[in-house]
Structure 1
Amino acid sequence: MKIRKNILPRTLTDIGCCLLLSLGIPVTFIFEITVLLPEFHDYGSPLYIMTLVAGIFLVFNIKTNMLTCMFTDTSIRHEVLDPPADTDELEGWRFCSTCESYAPPRSWHCVVCKTCILKRDHHCMFTGCCIGHRNHRYFMMLLIYLFIGTTYTTAYNSVYIWWFRYNDFVNFTTILKLICPMLMFTLDTSAINLFLLIYMLNVIGFLQSLVLLVYHWKIISHGAVVYERKAPKYNLGWKRNLEMVFGKRWYLVWLSPFVSSELPNDGIHWEQVLKESDKMK
């Protein structure tokens, strides 16, 4: 894995989103295991231990996939770019005047990252970097575990707020706070606001991760990136499409981002993939 020299977000939007995800995950986790978990399961019971272990596993994969995504350099920098000699296979190669280099097919320049990205999918605000050939796997696993984690916590929080503490939360004031979160700082300053704030963050995280996961999963299942979603040209069937993102050991990458899974393509030469895709049409 090639490491990015500067992993810090470059824009205010990236900084804000990256901080929200970086701080929101551990804060929510601590809140869930210290406040909510004892309300549902007796300390030390099998269910308590199973839920705690599952929570640790989820947080571990969310944080490590996020960091691995940010650290992985998926740009054309330090790459040996060797355009094919056959003029018929030069389709898609272009000269990037900003990078002062030839960029291979499926590579686009990012004005934020200030470089061309191999098989560029999009620029992610929550990681502050582009998602491309080498870190697409980590981005998708981040989305998957975010969805599972927020589904998990939203379910627990919903039961706790609307059932266990029905008398404290089911009122008109709570509805106003959910509609306009700023009222949490003006109507009252009780601990109830903390419960509502974390609940809202989990619901928003659940909805956003669900939408993004469905959107991106549909794209990669057709062997495409965001820019190619309307006319996929590199569709090799669902299994090989998954291998292009998750690697040859795609069925094991859910365990950890540290599980080795070699990609079947170098991210530069797509001529053979395009020919195979054309044959399958």
Structure 2
Amino acid sequence: MSGRAGRRGQDLLGKVFFYNIPLPKVQRLIKASVPKLKGQFPLSISLILRLILLAEKADDEADAKAKALSVLKHSLMAFNQPKKQEMLKLFFLFSVQFLVREGYINQEGKPQGFSGLATHLHYREPSNFVLISFLEKGLFHKLCERSLTNKGGKQFSETVMETLVLVLAHLFGRLRLPHSVVGLKGQFSQSKVILEELPPEFAAAAEEYNDVVDKIFGTFLLSTSKFADMEQEYRLPLSKICKYNVFNTALLS
């Protein structure tokens, strides 16, 4: 059996060819119920930035914009689900706000700065944005500069190399271990099963980055809270009794 599925958003029909398959089996396949599709739409800030880059750098700007919008409008995650479609729109607004505040796109929506590096490491979000924050603060430069000064500008010291590997391991190679393994810390002599803490300057920069993201997201929540259906939020699921008016009256009093 071979065929070509219809292109989502473009084709109404697809084609399937049966070769050397008994007719009764073909009839069963045709009459069988269609399995429910479940999409794993990787909606993320990095994806939004990749779509912006696609639209900006493509030779055919109109075609690139149409393809980028198609990805957002025809996602399986929000297929025939109006509420999730609204959530996608709100998340898109938050992503754009984040990208502007962090300097990945300008006020006109054009990519700038480290946008290319962020999209290249899109599969490691949010570590890609944390790495760029380290680069912008010059932490790697300061670490390597001290080593070159101490060694006469010829090579990095072993301590610096180990620190670089430690930082990159925290960003891109860290995995959660069962709590029972934590008690074995210090017993692995041949390898670093449990990572050491980040160097103080990197840990402080990561904490600062988290605070910035929290503030951006908080501002976004405040700006979008007016779209919330408060009566629906306060409506009990079984009795359908709405407590919103009672709660609102209590606040006013």
On whether the aligned pair clears a TM of 0.5, the verdict is no
Q: Which has the higher strand share?
A: 1
With normalisation by structure 2, the TM-score equals: 0.27
Give the TM-score normalised by the residue count of structure 1. 0.25
Higher relative contact order (CA 8 A, sep 6+): 1
Task: Specify the structure having the higher radius of gyration (Cα).
Answer: 2
